[in-house]
A and B are shown apart, each in its own frame.
Chain A
Amino acid sequence: MCEIAEGVAASRIGVGSAIGHHGELMQGAFEGSDGHFYRALVTLPMRTLQSHATFELSKGHEIAVYPADRTKALRAAILVMERCAPSGFGGVLRVRSEIPVGHGYGSSSADVIAAIRAVSNALGIDLLPSTTSEIAVAAESASDAIAYEEEAVLFAHRQGRVIEHFGGSLPPFYLTSFKPSDAKPINTDEIGRARYTAEEIQMFRCAAGAVRRAVRNQDPRLLGFAASLSARISQRHLPKSDFESASAIAGQHDACGVQVSHSGSLIGIIVDAGEPGAAAKAAGIAASARNAGFIEAGVFAVNVEEVKGENRF
Chain B
Amino acid sequence: MRIDSDFFRHMETPRLVHLSTTLVGAAFPMMKLMPARYILDQAEKSGEVKPGAHIIETTSGTFGMALALLAAARGYKLTLVSALSLMDEKYRQRLAMLGADVIALEDEKGDGNQVGRLEQINRLRLTSSGSYWTRQYDSDGNWLSYARLAEQLVVAMGKIDCLVGCVGTGGSLCGTGTFLRSLYPDLRIVAVDTHRSVLFGHPVGKRVLRGLGNSVLPKNVRHELVDEIHWMGAYPAFRNCHRLYRKYGVFAGPTSGASALVGRWISKTNPGMRIAVIMPDEGHRHAETVFNETWLSALPNWTEKIASAPTKVSTIAPLDEGDWTFFNWSRRTLADVMRSQKED
Whether B148 is near chain A, meaning CB under 8 Å from some CB there, is: yes
Say whether, besides A212-B155, A213-B158, A217-B158, A206 and B179 are in contact (CB < 8 Å).
yes
CB nearest to A36 among chain B residues: B1
- Which B residues from 1 to 54 make CB contacts under 8 A with A? 1-2, 5, 42
Q: How far is the CA of A67 from the CA of B155 in the complex (A)?
A: 47
**Partner-binding segment picked from A71-79, A113-121, A218-226, A291-299:** A218-226
Chain A residue total in the interface (Cβ 8 A): 22
Residue of A nearest to B185 (CB): A228
> How many A-B pairs with Cβ below 8 Å?
56
Which residues of chain B come closer than 8 Å to A212, judged between CB atoms?
A: 155
B150 at the interface (CB under 8 A from A): yes
Evaluate whether A206 and B180 lie within 8 angstroms (CB atoms) in the complex, with A35-B1, A219-B158, A222-B158 already known.
yes
The reply to whether the CB of A209 lies closer than 8 angstroms to some CB of chain B is yes
Chain B at the A interface: SS class: helix
Q: Does B151 contact A (CB under 8 A)?
A: yes
Chain B interface residue count, Cβ-Cβ cutoff 8 angstroms: 21
B140 touches A198 (CB 8 A): yes
By the criterion CB–CB under 8 Å, are A199 and B144 in contact? yes
A229 to B140, alpha carbons, bound, how many Å? 21
User: Which residue of A34, A203, A217 is within 8 Å of B1 (Cβ)?
Assistant: A34
**CB neighbours of A198 from chain B (8 A):** 42, 140, 144
CB-based contact A209/B1 at 8 Å:
no
Decide yes or no: A203 and B159 within 8 Å by CB, A198-B140, A209-B152 being known contacts: no
B154 within 8 A of A: yes
Partner of A35, one of B5, B148, B184: B5
Mark each residue of chain A from 1 to 43: 1 if its CB lies under 8 Å from any CB of chain B, else 0: 0000000000000000000000000000000001100000000
CB distance from B284 to the nearest CB of A (A): 30
Judge whether A208 is part of the interface by a CB distance below 8 angstroms. Answer: yes
Is there an interface contact between B179 and A203, defined as CB atoms closer than 8 Å? yes
Task: Please tell me if the beta carbons of A225 and B159 are within 8 angstroms of each other in the complex.
Answer: yes
- Which among B5, B147, B148, B150 has the highest number of chain A CB atoms within 10 Å? B147
Contact partners of A206 in chain B: CB under 8 A = 147, 150-151, 154, 179-180, 182-183
* Given A35-B1, A208-B151, A209-B154, CB of A225 within 8 Å of CB of B183: yes
Residues of chain B within 8 A (CB-CB) of A203 are 147, 179, 182-183
Q: CB-CB contacts of B128-171 with A at 8 A, as 1s and 0s?
A: 00000000000010001001101110110011000000000000
| Neighbouring A residues of B1 by C-beta, 8 Å | 34-35
Point out the residues of chain B lying under 8 angstroms from A221, CB to CB.
159
Q: Are B154 and A210 in contact (CB under 8 A)?
A: yes
For the complex formed, measure the closest distance between the CB of B97 and the CB atoms of chain A, giving whole angstroms. Answer: 29
Known: A206-B183, A210-B183. 18 other contacts (CB 8 A): A34-B1, A199-B140, A199-B144, A203-B147, A203-B182, A205-B150, A205-B151, A205-B179, A206-B147, A206-B154, A209-B152, A209-B155, A210-B158, A221-B159, A222-B158, A225-B159, A229-B182, A232-B182
